[in-house]
Amino acid sequence: MEKLLKRIENKDITVGIVGLGYVGLPLAVEFGNAGIRTIGIDVNQSRVDQLNAGDNYIQDVDDAELKALVDAGTFTATTDFSSIKHIDAICIAVPTPLSKTKDPDITFILAVNEELEKYVHKDLVVILESTTYPGTTRELILPSLEASGLKVGTDVFLLFSPERVDPGNPVYHTTNTPKVIGGVTENCLKLGTAVYNHIMDKLIPVSSPEAAELTKLLENTFRSINIGLANEMAIMCAKLGVNVWEVIDAAATKPFGFMKFTPGPGLGGHCIPIDPHYLSWKMRTLDYKARFIELASEINASMPEYVVDLVADGLNKMSKSINGSNILLLGMAYKPDIDDVRESPALDVYGLLEAKGAKLSFHDPYVSEIKFDSRIEQTIQLDHSTLDQYDCVVITTNHSEYDIKTIVENSKLIVDTRNATADFKSNKVISLGAG
């Protein structure tokens, strides 16, 4: 172990990153920038070919940085898991979606686990970053590593360190977001800490992988529940004739005991809509019902339907129905100024309106196309002069480059789910929770 620790401290190692998406690729680039030989492993051959050509596809990765690492040979990508034989520390950052029944789908983790069983070797540090239910690291990966006869904590070293990626965040990124890390043993923690010390500004060690797993679930459950409260407050304020945005802004002036959350058309992204269900599922196996999680999920999941009701109300006042109306959605990404549509509530709003017979178009400056079932729809060119061709414009994501004033002036009806039109009062605007 001491020889491995010395090599890690001297950067005389090769790091492997499994999964080259929103989490894995930025992580690989940071290790490369630290002067550490890095191998990215992904099952998508076209993605691997693109990276080996120095072509970046992740918004938070600098194009020039990636190309420089590829040109220097510091970073390479492959689909070949046998490269694990030449890797000293491996970070697993594969997707962990939910099944249709809201149960954890750890298919990708299981697939990586099978490859680890084939190629695990002495002095390998294994770090799981994919969000999952408490116990996954110890109950699933540890037995696979030890099936080879190697001992975790002595021969191989196992940890969980949850990703905390916030795509598009201009302030917090991979290196300056404090990183929680929990090892199966003290030796595991010591070596994992040495690996991450090369790229992280601050590490937060915890006592076990389970503590690290639960830390990530608590963070996003906290957000999910508070967003659910904000969404329900928006519905209540509308019924009371009070503007929810005014109420939230006023409450946010309190310098203690309050944290600002805002309503919207639903939850989006890979974490907040999904992670709480991992904890809820785990608790059901222990005969416990996570009531806060399930209630918040119910409220948040209902928001796209509430937005559709607002559209219907607005069109009714114009003596129109959703069926046959031309409707434009502005913004399909799940939050402003990024290209990520994973779990975006705009997709749900689109689907619900389409099911009611609306003729739909969308615009997003970051998303050129979206696959709906078996077809692909392209973003339109946003021409303010033709906005009046649409019976209703729905602001589902308030990208900063939208000229809201011009949009308000040229639209017949706007349903604003993000309070984007707050500075441009108009009787053509129906704002979520505005009362």
One domain, residues 280 and 147: no
Indicate whether 218 belongs to any domain: no
270 or 277: which carries more pLDDT confidence?
A: 277
Question: Residue 180: pLDDT above 80?
Answer: yes
> What is the mean pLDDT of the segment spanning 293-306?
95
pLDDT (0 to 100) of residue 358:
97
End residue of a domain, out of 177, 210, 243: 210
Question: Do 95 and 25 belong to one domain?
Answer: yes
**pTM for this one?**
0.92
Residue 231: alpha-carbon gap to chain centroid: 20
Query: Per-residue confidence at 195, pLDDT binned at 50, 70, 90?
Result: very high
**pLDDT at site 298:** 94
Q: Does residue 99 surpass a pLDDT of 80?
A: no
Residue 30 has a pLDDT of 97
- b/e for 393-418, b at 16 or more Cβ within 10 A? bbbbbbbeebebeebbebbbbbbbbb
Tokens read off for 226: 């508070």
SS3 87: coil
For residue 274, what pLDDT band results from cuts at 50, 70 and 90?
A: confident
pLDDT band at 382 (very low <50, low <70, confident <90, very high): very high
Does 102 score more than 90 pLDDT? no
CB 249 within 8 A of CB 433: no
| Phi-psi sector, 345: left (phi>0), alpha (psi -120 to 50), beta | alpha
Can you point out the beta strands (E) in 129-175? 156-160
pLDDT value at 61 more than 80: yes
The fraction of the chain above a pLDDT of 90, given in percent, is: 91
End-of-domain residue from the set 181, 210, 239? 210
With respect to residue 216, please indicate whether it lies within any of the assigned structural domains.
Answer: no
Residue 386 has pLDDT above 80, yes or no: yes
Q: How confident is the model at residue 262 (pLDDT cuts 50, 70, 90)?
A: very high
At residue 104, the pLDDT reads 86
| Residues 426 and 383 occupy one common structural domain | yes
Distances from the Cα of 65 to the Cα of 14, 69, 170, 188, 272, angstroms: 19, 6, 17, 31, 30
CATH code assigned at 379 = 3.40.50.720
Asked if 392 is an active-site residue, the reply is: no
Q: Which of 91, 188, 237, 271 is catalytic?
A: 271
Nearest to 308 by CA among 429, 432, 434, 435: 432
Residue 33 is predicted with a pLDDT of 97
Per-residue pLDDT of 10-40, as tens digits, reads 999 999 999 999 999 999 999 999 999 999 9
Domain span at 136: 2-210
Considering only 227-231, 317-321, 332-336, 384-388, which range has the smallest mean pLDDT?
384-388
How many domains are there within the chain? 2
State whether 190 and 238 are in the same domain. no
Phi then psi dihedrals of residue 41, to 5 deg: -115, 125
CA–CA dist 135, 153 (Å, integer): 17
**Structure tokens that stand for 84 in this block:** 């694990």
Mean of the per-residue pLDDT values for the chain?
Answer: 95
Among 210, 238, 260, the domain boundary falls at 210
In a domain, 263, yes or no: yes
Predicted confidence band of residue 373 (pLDDT cuts 50, 70, 90): confident
